[in-house]
Amino acid sequence: MAARMWSSALTLCLLISALPGGEPAQPDPQYMMLVPTLIHGGQDAKLCFLLSHLNESISLSVTLELTNQNITLLDKEVTETDEDNCIAFQTPNIETSEVGFFALQADGDTLHFTKRRNVLLKLQQHLAFIQTDKAIYKPGQKVQFRIASLDENFLPVSEHFPVVFIENPQGNRIAQWLDVETHKGIVQESFQLTAEPIQGTYKVIASRNRGQRVEHVFSVEEYVLPKYEVQVKIPPILTIEDQEIQVTVCGKYTYGKPVLGLIKVRVCRKFQQSYTYCPGEEDAVCEELEHADDLA
């Protein structure tokens, strides 16, 4: 743990200080503190310090000073020297990013020192998005949706949404869930559409802490499946040499029965060279055929 802390030196700043005065025989008391220069709100963080050549016991306190609060990270009596100490702490949840200070204060009978170091406390920006199981729903169907939250490294995170709701095409809130939390990054909910809902575009909206929103749209439509399908097969290329053309048209109801119908075939040869301005030649040469039959 300590090794990781020390190796990420880029984000840390080092404070080394010799305390004033001292007898020549004994080295001066020294302290060293490693503090992060950037921390995220609502996360685990750590700072370490090392005290050496202490000649008296001191009371040591480390405070994280923010605009609206001071958080005491450490407040203890230190007698031993050459001991390195790390403090793990939870950073506060914040509304906006801010610059704060780590303040170290040590007081003994003769020793008194203070040091402040600024730290950027950054608002953690999670990504959140909503998915529905379909894009279009029919009346009476169940809309299943999930909300996913990821951190800046795309790892799932828990996020609390004060309210999640569904808005109909008229902008009215027709369902809502309070205090929705993504556990391990995901939360799933569902909503039953009525038999005769307003048709159109609906929205699933999740309001986040700090007033942001994420939304996703889906539509509700009364759609009917096609009752039959028609397959047409024609040759990819015809030449003027061809005497016959093989065209196959096949119509079938979805339950398998053939469809009765009329086939109209129009065969055209278009003039490619429209720059030959001979009158009438802009028109294609076409021939029409009709065939009424059972399309099977």
Ligand X SMILES: *[C@@H]1O[C@H](CO)[C@@H](O)[C@H](O)[C@H]1NC(C)=O
**Which is closer to ligand X, CB of 64 or CB of 157?**
64
Q: Given the structure tokens 């109801």, which residue do they identify?
A: 253
If one asks whether residue 55 binds ligand X (CB under 6 A), the answer comes out as: yes
Q: What is the largest CA-CA distance in the chain?
A: 117
Candidates 68-76, 133-141, 165-173, 241-249; binding stretch for ligand X (CB under 6 A): 68-76
Give the chain's length.
296
DSSP states of 214-265: EEEEEEE------SEEEEEE--S---TT-S----EEEEEETTSPBPEEEEEE
**Which is closer to ligand X, CB of 22 or CB of 200?**
22
Candidates 61-69, 119-127, 140-148, 153-161; binding stretch for ligand X (CB under 6 A): 61-69
Could you say which residues in the range 24-43 bind ligand X, by CB under 6 A? 28-29
Could you say which residues in the range 213-272 bind ligand X, by CB under 6 A? none
Q: Any residues with CB less than 8 A from the CB of 274 and at least 6 apart, and which?
A: 282
- Counting residues that bind ligand X (by CB under 6 A) gives 13
**Helix or strand (DSSP H, E) at 39:** strand 38-40
Applying CB under 6 A, which of residues 2, 14, 56, 282 lies at the interface with ligand X? 56
Residue spans of beta strands (DSSP E) within 109-247 = 112-122, 127-132, 136-137, 142-150, 160-167, 173-181, 186-192, 200-207, 213-220, 228-233
**Helix or strand (DSSP H, E) at 78:** strand 70-78
Candidates 1-9, 19-27, 222-230, 255-263; binding stretch for ligand X (CB under 6 A): 19-27
50: DSSP letter:
E
Residue 260 in contact with residue 230, Cβ under 8 Å?
Answer: no
Applying CB under 6 A, which of residues 4, 21, 225, 290 lies at the interface with ligand X? 21
Binding mask 78-117 for ligand X (x = CB under 6 A): --------------------------------xx------
Applying CB under 6 A, which of residues 16, 25, 69, 240 lies at the interface with ligand X? 69
Candidates 64-72, 83-91, 142-150, 279-287; binding stretch for ligand X (CB under 6 A): 64-72
**Which is closer to ligand X, CB of 64 or CB of 128?**
64
Pair type for strands 70-78 and 38-40 = unpaired
Candidates 2-10, 18-26, 242-250, 288-296; binding stretch for ligand X (CB under 6 A): 18-26
Closest CA to 134 of 220, 229, 248: 220
Residue 86 in contact with residue 139, Cβ under 8 Å?
Answer: no
Least distance to ligand X, CB of residue 18, Å: 9
Candidates 22-30, 71-79, 209-217, 271-279; binding stretch for ligand X (CB under 6 A): 22-30
Least distance to ligand X, CB of residue 95, Å: 15
**Helix or strand (DSSP H, E) at 7:** helix 2-7
Minimal CB distance to ligand X: which residue?
22
Please report, as ranges, the residues that interact with ligand X according to CB under 6 A.
19, 21-22, 28-29, 55-56, 65, 68-70, 110-111
